């Protein structure tokens, strides 16, 4: 899933005449213990790619998305979630 998301992102950036790409990477690690111990690290990558911006800046067309990777240290699992939006800002 993550490989497909990365390939789609790179294809979009190569075909789109973008001037500006905004990226944000952050993460966190959570430990909990109830019936079972859990140690999960989450890494989030958010991006916003401007596709078209009118000269008078009345509206902007963009692609935006978030790729979230969860790593369970004790269960040794990796889960990936990807969200993509196509939008217009007025």
CATH T-level topology, domain 2-89? Outer membrane efflux proteins (OEP) (2.20.200)
- Condensed to tens digits (0 to 9), the pLDDT of residues 33-70 reads 887 888 889 998 888 888 888 888 888 888 899 889 99
Boundaries of every domain in the chain: 2-89
Q: In Å, how far are 16, 48, 64 from 54, measured between CA atoms?
A: 15, 17, 18
Q: Could you report the per-residue pLDDT of 2-40, keeping only the tens digit for each?
A: 667 666 666 665 555 545 667 888 888 888 888 788 888
Judged on CB neighbours under 10 Å (0-12, 13-18, 19+), 16 is middle
pTM comes to: 0.58
């Amino acid at each position: 899933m993550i490989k497909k998301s990365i390939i789609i992102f790179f294809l979009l950036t190569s075909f789109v005449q973008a001037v500006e790409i905004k990226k944000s990477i952050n993460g966190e690690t959570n430990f909990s213990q109830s019936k079972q111990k859990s140690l999960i690290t989450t890494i989030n990558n958010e991006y916003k790619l401007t596709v078209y911006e009118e000269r008078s800046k009345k509206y902007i067309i963009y692609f935006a998305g978030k790729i979230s990777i969860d790593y369970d240290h004790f269960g040794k699992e990796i889960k990936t979630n990807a969200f993509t939006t196509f939008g217009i800002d007025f």
